[in-house]
């Protein structure tokens, strides 16, 4: 189940990134590809969280938490945060929130580090 959801989410994200890149007529540079990827992964992450909330309400088969974490880790943390707020999903699970915020902090530190290397002169 984990592998299935990860593969589906990654394929959808890659397809979505290609569509976003084509739709916005982006250049073949890594910042544009990154922007297309972030648009796609955040949209897919938002949908996955919403679907998991729907499944939880129905008492049906759920999305494994490791998949939700992987989507956030791959750049979908803004989409995950928005989905958690909109759907009121996973907001009361302390361990889930803790690991989610650890992912966000690591991503923020990575962004600052990359920005310092590429755009801030020393």
- pLDDT tier at 47, thresholds 50, 70, 90: very high
Q: Where do the structural domains in the chain lie, given as residue ranges?
A: 2-118
Segment 2-44, tens digit of pLDDT: 999 999 999 999 999 999 888 887 777 877 888 899 999 999 9
Distance in angstroms (rounded) separating the CA atoms of residues 39 and 16: 8
Please provide the DSSP assignment of 12-48 as one string.
HHHHHHHHHHHHTT--SSHHHHHHHHHHHHHHHHHHH
Please check whether residue 51 is in contact with residue 63, taking contact to mean a CB–CB distance below 8 angstroms.
yes
pLDDT over 70 (residue 122): no
- pTM here is 0.86
Surface-to-core class of residue 105, CB atoms within 10 Å of its CB (0-12 exposed, 13-18 middle, 19+ buried)? exposed
Of 2-6, 15-19, 79-83, 114-118, the one with minimum mean pLDDT is: 114-118
Distance in angstroms (rounded) separating the CA atoms of residues 122 and 117: 9
């Amino acid at each position: 189940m984990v592998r299935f959801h990860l593969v589906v989410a990654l394929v959808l994200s890659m397809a979505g990134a290609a569509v976003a890149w084509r739709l916005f007529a982006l250049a073949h540079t890594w910042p544009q590809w990154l922007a297309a990827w972030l648009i796609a992964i955040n949209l897919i992450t938002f949908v996955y969280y919403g679907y998991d909330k729907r499944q939880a309400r129905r008492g049906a088969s759920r999305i494994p938490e490791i998949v939700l974490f992987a989507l956030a880790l791959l750049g979908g943390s803004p989409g995950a945060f928005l989905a958690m707020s909109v759907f009121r999903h996973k907001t009361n699970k302390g361990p889930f929130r803790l690991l989610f915020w650890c992912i966000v902090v690591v991503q923020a530190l990575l962004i600052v580090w990359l920005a310092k290397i590429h755009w801030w002169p020393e």
